[in-house]
Every structure is written in C-alpha cells, then in structure tokens.
Amino acid sequence: MTITTRFAPSPTGYLHIGGARTALYSWLHAKASGGRFVLRIEDTDRERSTDEAVQAILDAMEWLDLEHDGEIYYQTKRFDRYAEVIDWLLAEGKAYRCYSTAEEVEAMREAARAKGEKPKYDGTWRPMPGKTLPEPPEGVDPVIRFATPLDGETVIHDMVKGDITISNTELDDLVIARADGTPTYNFCVVVDDMDMAISHIIRGDDHVNNTPRQINILKALIGDFAELPVYAHVPMILGADGKRLSKRHGAVGVMRYREEGYLPGALLNYLVRLGWAHGDQEIFTREQMLEHFDIEHVQGGASTFDPDKLLWVNQEHLKMAAPEDLVGELRWHLARLGIEDVDDTRLAEIAAIQKGRCKTVLEMAEQTLFVFQPVTEYEPKAVKKHVKAATPDLLAQVRDGLAKLDEWTGEAASAVVKQVSADNEVGMGKVAQPIRIAVTGGPVSPSIDDTLVLLGRDETLARLDAAVAAFASEPG
C-alpha cells in the first residue's frame, strides 16, 4: 500500500506555525516511505476563505519546500462530486431529507438538554422500518442529514493518542448538505479523503471531535469492513504563558519568520522537535528528519513554542550551511533592503564570511549593506573620537600596503594593518577604527579583515583614498 498523507488547510489566513508543523509531519510521514503527499485547499467556507490566503499558504509551502504530489485540490471545484455522493447516500437510505426548521431543531435540542441528554436532532425525518414519515411541507427546501448508526461505538485508532472510543448514541445525524444544496465541511473532508486514497490523516487535535462523525460517513461509503485510514491527531502548540499560540505571542505566520531572517530548514528543524524527539539530537537536516521521523513517537501532550530556541537552531543551520545554499535567502533579504543585481558568486562570498557571525539572514544582509552603499558621510561622533592628526598618514600607509597585496585575503589584509601599527608604534585600534570609519562611514562593522574582504580590493582602496582626503582637513 502506498502511504498517502494530505495537508488540508482552510484558507482563512496565513500558514501559521501549527499548520506548518502538521504539514511537515504529513510530508515526512509520506516521503520517508516514498509515499504521496497531497495538498488540498479546504475553501468551502466562502465567507472566510480568500484568494490572498490561498496564495499565502502556497507561498509558505513553497518556501518551506514541502512539495506536494499531483495537482492541488480545491474543494470548491469538487461540488459536482459531493452532489453525486450525496445522491448515492440518499438512494442507499444512508442519508435522508430533513424538513425541520431551525427553531424546531433548537426545540429538540432543548428538550434533550432538559432530560439531561446530549442535545441532538430527534430523528423526526429519519426513515425507520415501519415508520410513517410526516408529509413534506410545501415550499421548504430540506437539508440532508446523514443517518448515523443508532448504536454501537466508533473507535479511532490514533497513532499519537492511542485508541479513542465514542458511543454512536452521542453523535447527531449530521447535516451533510444545507438547504441551498451546498455540502458541509465534515462531509467534504470524508469524500476527499476517500477519493484521494488518503491512508494516514495527520492533523491538529482540534479535529478529534470530527473524527467519529467522519469515520461513520466513510464507513457508509466504503463499507463497514473496508480499511479505514490511520489517524494521528497532533497536540496543540502553546505560547510561554500556556495559552494556545496566537498573534499575542509574536509572529505566528510562517512567512514572518522568513522576513525575520530564519532559514526554512531551521524552521522545519525547530518544528519537527516540537513534540517529537530522536534521542537528544537537536539539529536535523532534511535528510536526517526523513530518516528518523516517526509519527508514532510524537508526544500526546501540548508543546511550548520557544522563540529563543528557534533562534539558536537558526544560527546552527547558518553555521553548517554551505555558502552557496544561503545565496537565495540572502538575495531575497538584500532585495528587500533595496540591493539588487548582485551575482551568485559575490553572494556566496558574503555568506561564507557572515554565516558564522550572524544569527539570521536578515542580520547578514543588514551587516553587509555597507558593501553596497557608498559612504556619503562619516559619523561625526566617531570621527571626533577616532580620527586624529596622524590618521590620514596611517590610512595612507595602510592603503599602500593593501595595494601591494598579491592576494586579497583576510589574513593578508590584517597583516598589513598590524604592520602599519607596529611601524608607527601605535595600538591596533588607532589604525583599525579609522579604517572602519573610512570604509563604512561608522565605527561598527565585522572584524577588520572580514570588512575588507567583503568590500573587495578596489572598493577598499577607493574608500581609503576618499577618507585620507576628507580626514586631512579634520582638526585632529
């Protein structure tokens, strides 16, 4: 049997952290065994679904590189299919038309509550052997209800939570099509899972209550003895305050993490560990996740989102990344900061230098801006503090030393700086700080050798020349 999982977001907002983890677990479970991963957009709630949200979800899935197999399914494009299945259920006597008004249904529920029972539809329109149904009222469009088994129990074999047993008497005769003919959520999910041959349903545990209803409908469609999908209900993610993760806890949309400079692989790594462990290993590549992830070892209790740990995981991923693999994200961040058209080789050089000293790609980009922005001004405070009468001459000596280098490396550049400070019997800082101000306009930049390597020879020499001229007129 091919393992087939699905991710079935409702497009009512961005892809949030919890959704991304569900998608990841589903993707891993399928891909680890060479199975299929289906993406299905559950957009039947037309009031709450938007095209922007669909796009936001697709963008996030692409950024995370959780690739789906085959077409993307949209429930709104499957109404004919749902209607066909409803007709079949009606013909089989497994569903029925119900003409009760909303007020009548509410009164039935009230009556059940008064008797201390679960509020339920009372079955007025449900056909039963030997029962005569009321005459359908004129001009009333019926809803369609599913004839839930009247006795017995439904067992969910859940890979995370274990077996969950529900007595069918607890379950209502669910409305599967509204009076206007539109199918309802729980029904569409079942038809889809059946048609798409989903073998493993991995989703948030906020859906546990839907599962027995869905199982009963599915059994009505495929037969009581056909094999059901396996379920795994994944617990919630909480904020540090123990409440369900929400906007109050900061960024919850996946793409906000991109904007903040996280790597997709790092976010996935953080998410895979949120509720699952493999020994005490914290850092996982995609391949390692695929090798070790096991849905059965996902813990049953909620997990707590820890932004500091995510940042640490991101830093670890930056450190271990090949510079070429950071080019795409670095390009994206630089573009957002207004820097475009930088070639891949240059970006990889930058990544090689910055990746060990930054926690995020955003930080990498911000700390590289000086390379692309001409120095238009020297920070007056820094100049006052670090530029002295001797500075132009020291900078000129550095410039000459650098101009003579055969190879433009950090080591060679810092050897020149050391030499100049030794020759002139001044501390390194008296040379290095003015160099920083000269080439970046301010006193803060990566180490002097990294700064010069990032900038490149021509630009360094040109900026030093300009500074020597500018500082010559400083009072010192």
- Mapped to the 3 state alphabet, what secondary structure does 222-249 carry? HCCCCCCCEEEEECCEECCCCCECCHHH
253 lines the binding site for ligand GLU (CB under 6 A): no
Which tokens go with 232?
A: 């795994």
Beta-carbon count within 10 A of 303 CB: 19
Cβ proximity to ligand GLU: between 188 and 435 the closer is 188
Tokens 């999908």 belong to which residue? 229
Output the smallest distance, CB 268 to ligand GLU, in A: 19
Distance (Å, rounded) from C-alpha 214 to C-alpha 88? 17
For residue 282, give the DSSP letter. -
Residue nearest to ligand GLU (CB): 203
Cβ proximity to ligand GLU: between 10 and 182 the closer is 10
Cβ proximity to ligand GLU: between 8 and 435 the closer is 8
- Fill in the amino acid letter for 317: H
Output the smallest distance, CB 9 to ligand GLU, in A: 5
What does 348-366 look like in DSSP terms, one character per residue? Answer: HHHHHHHTTT-SSHHHHHH
76 lines the binding site for ligand GLU (CB under 6 A): no
The C-alpha angle with vertex 305 and arms to 301 and 306, in degrees rounded to 5, equals 130
244 lines the binding site for ligand GLU (CB under 6 A): no
Distance (Å, rounded) from C-alpha 141 to C-alpha 178? 9
Distance (Å, rounded) from C-alpha 381 to C-alpha 402? 27
Tokens 């360094």 belong to which residue? 460
By rule CB under 6 A, what count of residues binds ligand GLU? Answer: 7
In 3-state terms the chain splits into helix, strand, coil percentages (rounded to 5) of 50, 10, 40
Which tokens go with 169?
A: 């008497």
Output the smallest distance, CB 299 to ligand GLU, in A: 19
Cβ proximity to ligand GLU: between 97 and 244 the closer is 244
The pattern of x and - marking residues 395 through 424 that bind ligand GLU according to CB under 6 A reads: ------------------------------
Interacting residues with ligand GLU between 356 and 375 (CB under 6 A): none
295 lines the binding site for ligand GLU (CB under 6 A): no
Cβ proximity to ligand GLU: between 156 and 438 the closer is 156
Interacting residues with ligand GLU between 1 and 40 (CB under 6 A): 8-10
Helices 307-320/264-273 angle, 10° precision: 130
The pattern of x and - marking residues 34 through 73 that bind ligand GLU according to CB under 6 A reads: --------x-------------------------------
Distance (Å, rounded) from C-alpha 348 to C-alpha 327? 6
Which residue of 15, 66, 189, 327 would you call a contact of ligand GLU, by CB under 6 A? 189
- Cβ atoms of 181 and 236 within 8 Å: the answer is no
Interacting residues with ligand GLU between 201 and 220 (CB under 6 A): 203, 207
- Fill in the amino acid letter for 7: F
Cβ proximity to ligand GLU: between 252 and 365 the closer is 252
Output the smallest distance, CB 437 to ligand GLU, in A: 54
Output the smallest distance, CB 13 to ligand GLU, in A: 10
Which stretches of the chain bind ligand GLU, using CB under 6 A? 8-10, 42, 189, 203, 207
